[in-house]
Structures are given as structure tokens and as C-alpha cells.
Structure 1
Amino acid sequence: MSATHPWTPVLPALGVRGLLRRLSSSRAHASAVAVTPLTDRRTTSDIDDLYHHRRLELVRLAVLLVDDIPTAEDVVQDAFAALYRRHGARLTGLDDPEAYVRRSVVNAARSVLRRRRTMRAHVPPRPRPAPPPEEHVLLKEEHEEVLGALRRLTTRQREVLVLRYWSNLSEAQIAETLQLSRGTVKSTASRALAALARRLENPA
């Protein structure tokens, strides 16, 4: 498998300013945002190709779910390692390897958040270490505003919005990834957009 890419390009490509404009707009406008079907993208059948073409995108997805880059890197690396152990280098038996590894990343991110909640319930909070200089530069004020608002949503709400607006998945694809009904995805997105808009307007 290819070597790990540098993490410094992760956050600039998030386009958080654009995400802010989309997520804080009206629900009617949000529902009209064009979505690029996954079937229009390049599909890969080999794990090296999948890693090369989709790893960075998956790390960006994981960053929005777990809030920090090193953990996001670990989540994606573990997802690919598990994929290799189960299906081999040729991804035998998988019709859609990209959807499979994306679902693994989401599930691993959930596990990370559960472990964090458990640790925080038993261990007094400690000051977070200062971020590397590169991260300080990349996390502009508008990035922090949106990421902070996303953190205050429920896990399901955050997952639905990130998959919808960052990964450009359709309602059907989100439903498959999160093992939910399409109706639940639609109602969750609506409530999450409303909650996010309120928090962006009134951050206190």
C-alpha cells in the first residue's frame, strides 16, 4: 500500500467557507444543491488504486467527524487495513469497495467518539496540546466557526450533513452508509440544518 500522504493539504480542501454558505442557507435552497452521483465518479477494483484515489478524500471526511487530523489519519488507515484483511488486494467479493470503506470510516469514527465520551466520564479533562503551526494557519476563524457548530450537533446529524455536503452523497447513498431509511435521512438533515443555522447565527 502506498505511503501515507502529508496531512497538510487536508484542511484547505475542506472549503469550509463554501460549506458555511450552503449549510446556513434556507432548507429549500439546501435541498436544491446539486449532488454528484457516486456512480459518476471513477470506481476502482484494486486496493492500491482505491487507496491512491480516495484516501485523502476519506481523511477529509474523517476530520469532520472526529475533529482532529491525526485521529482521522488513523481511522482511515485502520479502515484500509481491515479492508485488506477481509477482502485481499483484489477486493474480492465487493461490488462497491468505495462505499464499503466509507462505511468503515464512519463506523470507526463513531467508535472513536464513544471512546472519547467514556474517557471523559472517568478522567478529568486536560488542556489540549497546542496544534502544529501548519494547523493553526489552516484553521481560520471561519473554519472554527463551522467545525464548532458541527461538533454541537448529534452524531447522526453531523454524519448526515457531512456525507450530504462534503461527500456529495444522495439520500439513498447516505441511507445505505448509515443503515437508515431514506425518510430518516431526510428528516435528520432538515433538523440538522435548522440547528446548525441557529448555532451559526447565535454561537454563544
Structure 2
Amino acid sequence: MDAVPGDAAVAGLFLTHRLGLVRLAFLLVGDQETAEDVVQDAFAALQRRWSRLADHDRMLPYLRVAVVNGCRMVHRRRAVVGRFTGERETPFWSAEAATLLGETRREVLLAVRALPRRQREAVVLRYYLDLSEAEISEAMGVSRGTVKSTTFRALRALAVKLEETR
């Protein structure tokens, strides 16, 4: 069987960036299994579209966009299911993870998790992945000004929320 064009490149990207992308997805969707599914779907889409993509040197930003969009789809599906079943989202930490995390770190993660989706995305991309405003703008599909204002509002909300818990 002949190799599909881009197999080696996608495999290299997978080995190099999968873990970071799963961590990103985990912070956005709240559970490991779903995060892994979102990242796997992003890599599968990259593989399918490889021959149609023009700039093969910009695949990591492409994957980030795919992961952020995949996480958005997960939230939309959860919202629809929640409307029909009345169920709320399950906590994003397991008992084991909660035990391993310090109380302060857990409070910060809970506060980030409580942010509106766009603010949560901006904070995670900026402070977890350490992306620039331009990279965040590209990943979220918004302007740099929107990134700035969204991040500012998110940090202000986090400060208020974390001060309340003290």
C-alpha cells in the first residue's frame, strides 16, 4: 500500500504537538477523553486535507484552530443535550486529579472554567500556551483588538472571582 502524501509530516506533527494540543483541549472542554477525541479529529482532518493545504509550514496554527473549533462544537453539543435532559456539565476534574492539584490551583482552574467560552479560550491560549496576540487572533478567528479586550475582561473576572474565594 502506497503512503498517502504528508503521512510522515503529519506523524511528526502528531509526535511533537499532540500532548500540548490535548492539554489545550482539556482546559477548554474539561475532560481528558473528549480532549483526546478533539485532537485526534483535528489530526485526521489535517491528514485528509494535506494535499489541499497551501502552506505546510503553518500546520501548527491550523491544528490549534481545528482544536479550538472542535472544542466549540463539543460545547454546542453539550448545551443542546443539556437543554433536553436538564443535565449540567460534569466537573472537569476527577477525584484523583483533584487530590493531586493543590487547593489554590484547583480554585484557579475552577475560576477559568467558569469564564464564558471566548474569555476562557483567550486566557488558555495566552497564559497556558503562551501565544502572542496575533497567534491567539488566528486561533480564535477574531481580531487582535478583540483578543486584547477579551483577555482584559477575563483577567478582571478572574481577579474578582478569586478574591471572593479568599
TM-score (norm 2): 0.85
Match of residue 14 from structure 2: 51
Q: Which amino acid aligns with 1:188?
A: T
- 1:134 CA drift (Å): 4.2
What's 2:128 paired with? 166
TM superposition shift of 1:152: 1.5
In 2, Cα distance between the equivalents of 1:163 and 1:113? 17
Unaligned segments of structure 2, at least 5 residues:
1-7
Match of 1:62 in 2: 25
Confirm or deny that 1:124 pairs with 2:86.
yes
Q: In structure 1, what is the Cα distance between the partners aligned to 2:38 and 2:100? A: 21
SS in structure 1 of the partner of residue 57 of structure 2:
coil
In 2, the alpha carbon distance for the partners of 1:92 and 1:120 equals 39
CA distance in 1, matches of 2:66, 2:42: 6
What one-letter code is carried by the residue in structure 1 that aligns with 2:158? L
Indicate whether 1:183 and 2:145 are aligned: yes
Distance 1:152 1:62 in 2: 16
TM, length-normalised to structure 1: 0.70
Q: Deviations over 1:142-193 (max 9, x none)?
A: 3321121112111110000100001111001111111111111111111110
Is there any run of 5+ residues in structure 1 with no aligned partner, and where? 1-44
2:45 counterpart of 1:82: yes
Matching residue of 1:195:
157
Closer/same/farther in 2, CA of residues 82 and 138 from structure 1, 3 Å limit: farther
Q: Distance in 2 between matches of 1:189 and 1:66?
A: 19
In 1, are the aligned partners of 2:82 and 2:88 still within 8 Å (CA)? Answer: no
Q: Provide the rounded CA distance (Å) in 1 between the counterparts of 2:132 and 2:89.
A: 39
Q: Which residue of 2 aligns with 1:18?
A: none
The amino acid across from 1:117 in the alignment is A
Distance 2:94 2:144 in 1: 40
The structure, 1 or 2, with the larger RCO (C-alpha pairs under 8 Å, 6+ apart) is 1
* Within-5 A mapping of 1:106-145: 106-125=68-87, 134-145=96-107
**What is the CA distance between 1:72 and its match in structure 2?**
0.7
Aligned residues: 158
Using the aligned pairs only, state the percent identity.
Answer: 52
Query: Residue 106 of structure 1: CA displacement?
Result: 0.3
* Alpha-carbon spacing, 1:94–1:63, altered in 2? closer, same or farther (3 Å): same
Comparing both structures, which one devotes a greater share of its residues to helix? 2
Question: Are the equivalent residues in 2 in contact too, given 1:87–1:93 (CA < 8 A)?
Answer: no
How far, CA to CA, are the matches of 2:147 and 2:89 in structure 1?
36
